[in-house]
């Protein structure tokens, strides 16, 4: 999901569980910047591919190795943000 509104300084790219969660995160980020949320600036695309949790193994030079996981599942929590104003000299 992306939220692209260069006039307000936003170019967000998010990997989210679903569209509702993405919209919720974007709305909170936009509110932090004291801007107005514009639903027309959201682009959500859904992949037709399925990504296996356990992709299995393969033989590489006679040795069994795990295949690479694409889009591994994980949860990330937002803890805090820091804003440091800079003066233009």
pLDDT of 89 strictly over 60:
no
pTM of the model: 0.59
Instruction: Give strand pairing partners of 2.
Output: 13, 43
Residue 64's contacts (CB-CB under 8 Å, 6 or more residues apart) are 57, 58
| CA-to-CA dists, residue 34 to 3, 30, 68, 83, angstroms | 16, 6, 41, 14
Per-residue pLDDT at 88 exceeds 70: no
Chain segment 30-65, per-residue pLDDT in tens = 998 899 999 999 998 877 777 778 888 989 999 999
* Separation between Cα atoms, residue 31 and residue 61, nearest integer Å: 54
Pick 88 or 79 by higher pLDDT.
Answer: 79
């Amino acid at each position: 999901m992306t939220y692209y509104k260069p006039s307000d300084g936003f170019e967000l790219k998010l990997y989210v569980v679903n569209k509702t969660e993405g919209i919720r995160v974007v709305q909170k980020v936009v509110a932090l910047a004291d801007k107005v949320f514009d639903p027309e600036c959201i682009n959500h695309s859904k992949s037709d591919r399925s990504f296996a949790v356990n992709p299995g193994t393969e033989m590489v030079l006679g040795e069994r190795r795990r295949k690479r996981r694409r889009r591994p599942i994980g949860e990330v929590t937002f803890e805090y943000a820091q804003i440091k104003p800079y003066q233009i000299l």
